[in-house]
Amino acid sequence: MIQIIRFTALQQTPWKNGGGTTREIAIARAADALIWRLSIADVGVDGPFSKFDGLRRILTVIDGHGMELIGPHETLQANYAVPLSFDGALEIHSRLKDGPLRDLNLIYNPALCTGRAQMMVGYSRHSIEAKFGQIIALHCIRGSISLGDIGQLHQGDTALIDGDAIHYTLAEGASALLISIQTVANNCVMAER
């Protein structure tokens, strides 16, 4: 199954602290436990990050100049187009480097799945297959991505590939984030938002 989720169809939810908004792309659960969640956040001001005890995060800045994630023992650098993996339980205060930004977040339960993210930049052709228990998300950061007969992704759009194969081409000057989620749970349910 291949789903195309348009950025324009995502609902924007303001943060309680007023510092930004979140758009949920997709989520998977097993009973009451979160397996993973993929979302886009717009960060407007410095401030605390939400804690997610027992979960891991992969955060990638997809627009803007990045931010520092200041923790109790170290400061992590969230730079543009560089996926950053860290413990969701960390108490973090973010400091924007040069104005507002947008990031793409994968939050996942490491007891139930694994997550990876990699950047792709410039004209190139690819084929990928989501194997059993694997979800692949292809997110268009800039430009456009051709999915052949399936259609095209434009900036902010995401293709979710579940148990299927896909051939895709990044246009000249395009960039994308490829996310792979390998679940170990047999009863997860995926829902797009």
Domain residues of the chain, as ranges? 10-108, 113-192
Per-residue pLDDT, 82: 96
Query: Quick check: do 10-108 and 113-192 share a fold?
Result: yes
> Cα separation of 14 and 20, whole Å?
6
How would you label 13-43 residue by residue, b for 16+ Cβ within 10 Å and e otherwise? eeeeeebbbbbbbbbbbbeeebbbbbbbbbb
- In this structure, which CATH number among 2.60.120.10, 2.40.50.140, 3.40.50.12640, 3.40.640.10 belongs to the domain 113-192? 2.60.120.10
- Residue-by-residue pLDDT tens, the chain, 193 positions: 899 999 999 999 988 777 789 999 999 988 878 899 999 999 999 998 888 999 999 999 999 999 999 998 999 999 999 999 999 999 999 999 999 999 999 999 999 999 999 999 999 999 998 888 899 999 999 999 999 889 999 999 999 999 888 899 999 999 999 999 998 755 455 544 4
Q: Given this model, what pLDDT does residue 11 score?
A: 94
Give dist(CA 177, CA 6) in Å, integer: 15
Output the pLDDT for position 186.
54
The pLDDT value given to residue 187: 47
> Considering the domain 10-108 in this protein, what is its CATH number?
2.60.120.10
